[in-house]
Every structure is written in C-alpha cells, then in structure tokens.
Amino acid sequence: MKISGEHQLKAPVEKAWKALTDPAILQKITPGCERLQPVGPDEFEATLKLGVALVKGTYKGKLALREKTPPESYRLVMEGSGAPGFVKGEATLRLREQEGGTLVSYEGDAQVGGAIASVGQRLMEGVARMVLSQFFRNLEKELGRKKEGKS
Amino acid sequence: MATGTKLFGSSIKRREDPRFITGKGIYTDDVKLPGTTCAAFVRSPHAHARIKSVNVVKTKASPGVVAVFTGRDLANAKVGGLPCGWLLPGIKLPPHPALAVETVRYVGDAVAVVIAESAFAAKDAAEKVEIQYEVLPAVTDGLSAVQQGAPTLHSDAPGNICFTWSIGDKEKTESAFRGATIVKQHLVNQRLIPNAMEPRASLASYEPATGDLTLWVTSQNPHVHRLLMAAFVLGIPEHKMRVIAPDVGGGFGSKIFVYPEEVVVAWASRQLGRPVKWTAERRESYMTDAHGRDHITDAEMGFSKDGKIIGLRVKTHANLGAYLSTFAPLIPTYLYGTLLSGLYAIPAIYCEVVGVFTNTTPVDAYRGAGRPEATYLLERLMDLGARARKTDPAEIRRKNFIPADKFPYQTPVALAYDSGNYGPALDRALSMADYRKLRAEQERLRREGRYLGIGFSTYIEACGPAPSQVAGALGAQAGLWESAHVRVHPTGKVTIYTGSHSHGQGHETTFTQIGADELGIPWEDVELVHGDTAAIPFGMGSYGSRSTAVGGSAIVMSLNKIKEKGRKIAAHLLEAAEGDVVFEDGKYFVRGAPSRAKTFQEVALMAYLAHNMPPGLEPGLEATSFFDPPNFTFPFGTHIAVAEVDPETGQVKIVRYVAVDDVGRVVNPMIVDGMVHGGIAQGVAQALWESGVYDSSGQLLTGTMMDYALPKADQLPFFETDRTETPSPVNPLGVKGAGETGTIASTAAVANAVMDALAPLGVSHIDLPLTPDRIWRAIRDAKKGGRA
C-alpha cells in the first residue's frame, strides 16, 4: 500500500523538525502509541494499539529514523507484528518553509499480512489517512501548546 | 427392485429437517465432555518464511494454559505428516507436517498450538507466542510458479512441479488438427473457497484407562479419516480409534480431507489425558479449508468443414497450493482430463496437466471437482466454435452429441459411457425456454440497445468413481465401494447402517425410503445410522455424488439378503416350498393363496425367537453387504441461462434459468430439486461473483464474507427444472449422482449467456468471475478496436 500527502503547519521548520524527531512528542501525538522506548541512536521499540475495521490489536515492533538531514528530511523505517498480523513499511518525511510555516510532505509504502490483510486490506488506506490526520492535528496542538508555554 | 412401490419417487419431506430448523442438531462443537480443553492455533501471517525461533515462555505463563506444542514437539514425538490418498506416476510428495517445523508455506500454515481451559484463554495465550520469521519470496499462481527464477517451495519438487500427467493420444490429435478450423482460448478457472455453513471442528478424547481414542470430527467420510489418521499419522491401532462425524453442516468436498487440526487435537488428547476441542473461526475456514479449482489453461478445438469436432488439445497448470491435500492429485487429472470428451463424439483428444505448488492454501475437491473445469472449457470452446462457424450454439452441440445408438461408448480419454441419450434433454430444455421466441426477443432488444444473451451448457458428469480395481490401478490408495448393514429387530423395526455420510444430502430420508419400500413396512419403522466407525462396518463416505448409487445399492443388497432369509423362515412356517412363497407389500404368502401369509414382522419375530426355524438356519435377521459398482454413473443434461447485460455498468442480470438433468431414477424428487437448485447457485456464483484472490506477496485478500462474494437468494432467478430419465445400468436402483450436476453445468451456461449478450459489441471471452468491472472494461477495450 502506497501512501503520500502533505500537511501545512504554522510552526517554523526548525521547531517542527524538533517535534518530529523527539520520541516523547512522537509517542504523545501518534494515535494508539503506548510506548516508544529508545534502544539506540534514533532507534526505538514501540507498542501500538490499532484497530483496522474489526481487527483490533496490539502491535509490537521497531522504529528507526534514518538518513536524517536536519531540518529537511528523514526516512522512517518500521516493522511490527501482533495477533492481527504484521505491518512493515517505510516513509520519507520532507520539511520545507512555506507561507511562514512548514510544509510537511510524506511518501511511503507499507505491507501488511495476516488477518489485517485478509480482513482489513480494503480499509487500510482509509485507516492510514485517518491516523495521519489525527497525528498532524495532535502535532499542531503540541506545537501550539509549546508556543503558549513560552510566551 | 423398488419399481412400482409408493415411497421410491415420492417427495416426502426430509426427516432430518425438524431437528435442523429448530436448532436441535448435534454438531461436533455441540458435544460437551467433562474436562474438555480448547485448542487455538498460531498461524503464519507470511506466505513463505523460514521459522527462526518460536518462543512460548509467556504463553505458558498465560492464565488457563494447559500446554503449548510446536512443530518440533510433534516431530520429536514421531507424529507422521498428512498423507496423500491418490498417487500419480512420478509424483513428488513433499512432507506435510501438521505443524510447520522449519518453513511456513502459506498464510494460515499452523506453527504452534495452545491448549487451555477455555477457548478464550487459548486464543489470548496464542497471541503471546513470539515467532521470528525470515521472510522468503512467495509465488501464488500456477503459471508463474513454474517459470525460471520462481521461489521454490519444496526442495524435493524442483520448479514447483508436483506432477506432469497426460491422457489421450498426442500424435493422433496433432494430425487431426491439420486442416481443421481451430478455435483457441486461454482460460482461467479461478480459485474458489468453500463456505460450509458449519466451520470445521474436532474433539478428541483419549481414555488412558483403556487406550481408546474417540474423535468427533466434521468429516464426510469418518472411516477414511480413521484409517488415514490411525495408520499413517498417529500410529494408533485402528481398532483403538473411533471416529464420529455427527451432524455435519455442509461439506462440498472440503470435509473429505484429513487436516492438521484434527491430527493435533487427537495427538494432544493422548498427551494430556483430557479431551481437546477445536472449532474453526470463519477466518480460519477461509485460510485453511482446502480451496477449489484454480486452473490456467490453453485449449484448442478443431472442427471439420461440416462442423464436427475432430480434435481437442488442452494444457492446464493446476495450482495445488502449498502442500498436497488428501485427494489433490486426483482432481485435475482423472476427474478432469477424463471428462474432456463431454457428451460429444471427439475422435482425438490430448490433455496435459502440470500440478504446481504455490504459496497458497492447498487446493482439492470442491463440488464438481475437476468436472466443472472440464465442462467450462468444453462449453466455452463449443460456443467459440459456433461463433466462428456462424452456427447456432444448440445445433453445433446436437450435431456433435454421441448418437444414442452408439452406447456403450468408449471415449479417447479412458471413460466408457454405459448409457446416454442426449438429444431429448436438449429438446426439452429448448422447448421449456421457447428458444425461437427467445432469439426473436434477443433481436428485438438489440435494436433497442439492450443486450440479452442465451447460454448453453450440455454436460456430462461421472459420479461414484468405480470400480475399486480400476481406481487402484490409477493411483487410488482406497477402494471405492460402499457398505451397508441392515438389522431387523424382533418387532420388525429396521435399522440401516450405511458407510455413506449425510452432511446435507438427506440420507435419513432417502435411504429409509428405499428400506421401507423394499421391505413393505412403514417408513417410520426404518431408522438410519451413519457417521460412526463403531456402529458401521468400514465405509467410504460421501463425495463425488456416490451416496445413493453406491451406498444405496449396498443397502438394497442387504435388504435382498434379508428378504431371502425371511422367505426361508416364512416357507417353513407356512409349510410351503420356498419357491412358492412370494414377498409383496410386507407379506410372505403362498403363490395363488394370498390368505396363507406371514407378515414381515411375524417372520422377524420368529427369526429372534427361533422356536420354529427351518433346519440348519441360524437365528437372527441381519445382513451386511459391500457394493463395488462395475462403473461410474453418467448423469447428463442441458442447462440454458438467459442473461441481460447492462453495457453502461457491466451489470449482469440472470433473467431465466432452465435446467433439464438426467440423473437416472429419482428416489426423492424434492431432494434432487434442492440439490440442483443449490448446485446451480454455486455454479452461477463462480460465473459471476466468487473468486479467491491473493496479492503478489501471498496475502489472502478474500478472507471474509465481506470480500468473498457468496451468492444471495435475491440475485438468482426462479429455476425452471425438469428431468429426463435414463436409468443407470450399473446399479440395482438405476440411479445416478445428483449432487453436483448443477455446479458442473451452470458456470458455463451463464458465461456463455454473457458472451452471447456481448457478441454484438465484439467481446468473445472474459475470464471468470464476470464482474461488472471486467465486463465494462472488456466492452471499452472492444470499442477501442482491440479484442477482449
């Protein structure tokens, strides 16, 4: 499953970059992320609770940020598995200044297997879009709160 | 013979139905034993992977867990792999362990089993099994799997080829093709997934005190299950194992086979000394019940100038899935290649089949099993031939029918048809459909821009594979006879024990109809017992539309033995010569003196009292028989589908469906009608909706009823059915099989109707299923000038 899109943030690039590489913030803003434990430089163990259609379950896996070019881009590599099956994928995130804020664009590919493939594959794209939009909404909120905190 | 009596041929309502429709059936999952544990299987989410490690530490600590076993545990305990029941020359038989040990080969391949105090505890704990896989490349279709560079599933099957099999005369066919008008077609007969209403289940109970193992299992053939499991898998003495197939909610072939789950629960029960139960979730059914069909075929048919078929050449890649299911090699060979003559006189046929392993669920018999594939191929080619020659599709068929005076007829592909008369079924169907009027209507609608199509399928089926000696020579690892034991009780009531198994067929009704008729006693006085190896002599079970033809005939043999013994007793009581005693309507009487009579019940009582028996005759009144028929039975018929296609949306509506079948003599017409209706529904579904789909990485995309399109009643038309009756000469009842005819005929009839509708748009062939999307694209492509 290929997925791509972009999202306009109000925050400047530097600030967005910081948030998008901070494990504490990432855990907070990623829907269903119960744990994001650093196990090495830019490598994490993650626990994610996610429901795709009627296949709900917990996935455990690894997540890594590779080819970091601050504050422009990185590649997110992840794989996880759980009772409903497995998810494997990677995505490239790019940040650039636009209209005083930051345009985040992403492009990725994911494979799923097991129950989520046989039951949920048709719905995966929709679920991914929903999760992403929630992720960016949470990110906006997070960045906004920081601003308020500072002022 | 039961001719002229009142129950044979009467549509009595099914005796089993009150229990089924009030929820009082006893299915495997309904059997409750004290101390039962429940099994949950941990299955591979990958289509092809090496198992690097299996960690069950957390699972064992999970609440309620009794035991966890992996493939390694079974291998260490020397549990045998799943056996294959039909061997072909040069066949490769890679091991099929019940739980994978080193490699998983399809999504759903079981890796471990968790046994716990409840099904929920087992499922929760199963989620905690940690398996590390090294994912390997996968291949899912039968043609890609034999290409160079394709991933190999089994090291002992190079190129993923399980067998290469051929039938017919290659050279003769090639020379026949010289100078012929040839029609060619590449055909995909898509994978189907059976959907029995009751999911598979098994419950094993081992008694440590006696060493007896009882297995309740959703089986179409409990004795075959016992033989294969006892002798080849578990190493249990056959007499210490009892298999019970209680009420079984549909099979369609999928419950013939020995599956990993019943092997594991049986073995585990012996390890634990407690009953172990497993019932499939519907998702497991989709992943692990043996699938059906899945052929990729290139076929060519040659016609002479006057429209006679002069040759047929077929090459098929049959997808067998990841492992050989119990009868997998039989289906695309002897149940397919041998049917390629259809009901046509074809002087030369050559068929080659390559059986191929892929990273998919194993493929085996599914309602029709090989014969729908053969019929679809033949009937598509007949229509393409008719179109190429601008002949009427009904007439090209009639022209090529084997003439009625040519029976017995030896086909070039091994089968010898003992009887047949194909013209009357075609004539009857044409008149029921009002064919001329239909063609006129088609013309009229075309002028309005509406697309109506008329599709034919004139088919033959071979049921009740036989005799055993021939089956053995062709690779069967079992006989194909059937047994029946009939026990008359002292009060004259009767219990029939049959080796056939009813899982929807209504044997409790039809077999007791036969029994009551032959003995001239009330229907209520006859009971049927089936599905228990402890009660019944060895039996072969139900599949291949064999139950009445083979199992019913064995019952008749036993009934005849009983009548003969009864005659001896009656003659003695009546002080008459045995030859002078007549048995009619439940009474033995002296010929010419009907008042000098003894009822069947009086004779039965005397057989058990034994106070006044003929000298030398043993007491008791029961008989066992084994019927090994001399040949298959050959039902045939004509189906006509009328369909309208909406060229804007590609939507198909079946307007009419006419089916004229010849299944020989009919015991219960209502039950046969029901089988025909259900069969047509399944065949129409293959034509229009059903398709088992994998993505390129081997994930099953059609794993639920949301994604796999089963037919619904409101999508189907009113079926107009009728029968011709050509009794089969190979069994005492004159019956043939009726359970699969609908499925065999209807797919081709509907496909041909849709292609006939699309003919003016330049579309000649679309692979199944004929979904609106595919039809719409074919119309669009044809409009662009390309051929579909």
DSSP assignments along B572-632, one per residue: HHHT--GGGEEEETTEEEETTEEEEEEEHHHHHHHHHH-SS--TT--S--EEEEEE--SS-
Closest by CA to A13, choosing from A91, A76, A100, A75, is A100
Q: What is the pLDDT of residues B750-760, one digit of tens each?
A: 999 999 999 99
Closest by CA to B545, choosing from B408, B394, B663, B667, is B663
Same domain, B641 and B605: no
Q: Which distant-in-sequence residues (6+ apart) come within 8 Å of B100 by Cβ?
A: B44, B51, B71, B109, B110, B111
What pLDDT was estimated at residue B5?
A: 52
Q: Please list every residue in chain B whose beta carbon sits closer than 8 Å to the beta carbon of residue A82.
A: 127
Alpha carbon of residue B13 to chain centroid: 24
Domain boundary among B611, B627, B643: B627
Q: What is the pLDDT of residues B57-101, one digit of tens each?
A: 999 999 999 999 999 999 999 999 999 999 999 999 999 999 999
Q: What is the pLDDT of residues B175-229, one digit of tens each?
A: 999 988 999 999 999 999 999 999 999 999 999 999 999 999 999 999 999 999 9
Q: Which distant-in-sequence residues (6+ apart) come within 8 Å of B172 by Cβ?
A: B347, B348, B350, B412
Between B235 and B604, where is the model more confident?
Answer: B604
Question: For residues B523 and B515, what is the distance between their CA atoms, to the nearest angstrom?
Answer: 8
Same domain, B690 and B744: yes
Q: Which distant-in-sequence residues (6+ apart) come within 8 Å of B293 by Cβ?
A: B189, B190, B191, B192, B363, B366, B372, B373, B686
Closest by CA to B344, choosing from B376, B316, B312, is B312
Among A82, A83, A113, whose Cβ lies nearest the Cβ of B107?
A113
Question: For residues B555 and B515, what is the distance between their CA atoms, to the nearest angstrom?
Answer: 8
A121, B706: Cβ pair inside 8 Å?
Answer: no
* Domain chopping of chain A, boundaries: 2-150
Q: Please list every residue in chain B whose beta carbon sits closer than 8 Å to the beta carbon of residue A57.
A: 127
Same domain, B221 and B362: no
B521 in a structural domain: yes
Same domain, B674 and B740: yes
What angle separates helix B422-433 from helix B435-447, to the nearest 10 degrees? 50
Same domain, B444 and B552: no
Asked if B512 contacts B556 with a C-beta cutoff of 8 angstroms, the reply is no
Q: Which distant-in-sequence residues (6+ apart) come within 8 Å of B277 by Cβ?
A: B29, B36, B37, B38, B39, B119, B201, B202, B203, B204, B265
B699, A113: Cβ pair inside 8 Å?
Answer: yes
Same domain, B241 and B107: yes
Same domain, B448 and B571: no
B23 in a structural domain: no
Q: Is 3.30.530.20 the CATH number for A2-150?
A: yes
Domain that holds residue B410: 292-465+631-783
What angle separates helix B772-783 from helix B741-758, to the nearest 10 degrees? 30
Question: For residues B778 and B765, what is the distance between their CA atoms, to the nearest angstrom?
Answer: 9
B259 in a structural domain: yes
B14 in a structural domain: no
Q: What is the pLDDT of residues B485-540, one digit of tens each?
A: 999 999 999 999 999 999 999 999 999 999 999 999 999 999 999 999 999 999 99
B16 in a structural domain: no
Mean per-residue pLDDT, B612-630: 97
Note whether B55 contacts A: Cβ–Cβ < 8 A. Answer: no
Interface A:B, Cβ pairs < 8 A? 51
A122, B707: Cβ pair inside 8 Å?
Answer: yes
Same domain, B201 and B95: yes
Q: Please list every residue in chain B whose beta carbon sits closer than 8 Å to the beta carbon of residue A115.
A: 45, 283, 703
Same domain, B652 and B745: yes
Question: For residues B488 and A27, what is the distance between their CA atoms, to the nearest angstrom?
Answer: 76
Name the average pLDDT for chain A: 88
What pLDDT was estimated at residue B471?
A: 87
Mean per-residue pLDDT, B628-635: 93
A114, B107: Cβ pair inside 8 Å?
Answer: yes
What pLDDT was estimated at residue A87?
A: 87
- Three-state DSSP class for residue B437: helix
B161 in a structural domain: no
Which of B53, B134, B135, B700 should we substitute to test contact with A (largest number of A Cβ atoms within 10 Å)? B700
What pLDDT was estimated at residue A150?
A: 44
Same domain, B653 and B696: yes
Provide the pLDDT confidence category of residue B788 given band limits of 50, 70 and 90.
very low
Residues 682..721 of B with a Cβ closer than 8 Å to A: which?
Answer: 695, 697, 699-704, 706-707
Asked if B681 contacts B711 with a C-beta cutoff of 8 angstroms, the reply is yes
DSSP assignments along B26-48, one per residue: -BGGG---TT-EEEEEEE-SSSS
B706, A119: Cβ pair inside 8 Å?
Answer: yes
Q: Please list every residue in chain A whose beta carbon sits closer than 8 Å to the beta carbon of residue B126.
A: 83
Mean per-residue pLDDT, B304-311: 95
Question: For residues B99 and B120, what is the distance between their CA atoms, to the nearest angstrom?
Answer: 21
ipTM of the complex: 0.83
Peptide bond between residue B408 and the one before it cis (omega within 30 degrees of 0): yes
Specify the CATH number for the domain of residue B95: 3.90.1170.50
Q: What is the pLDDT of residues A1-47, one digit of tens each?
A: 888 999 999 999 999 999 999 999 999 999 889 999 999 989 999 99
B765 in a structural domain: yes
Same domain, B300 and B214: no
Note whether B127 contacts A: Cβ–Cβ < 8 A. Answer: yes
Peptide bond between residue A71 and the one before it cis (omega within 30 degrees of 0): yes
pLDDT at B384 over 70: yes
- Structural domain tally of chain B? 3
Q: Please list every residue in chain B whose beta carbon sits closer than 8 Å to the beta carbon of residue A59.
A: none
Same domain, B68 and B213: yes
What pLDDT was estimated at residue B476?
A: 87
Question: For residues B775 and B768, what is the distance between their CA atoms, to the nearest angstrom?
Answer: 10
B21 in a structural domain: no
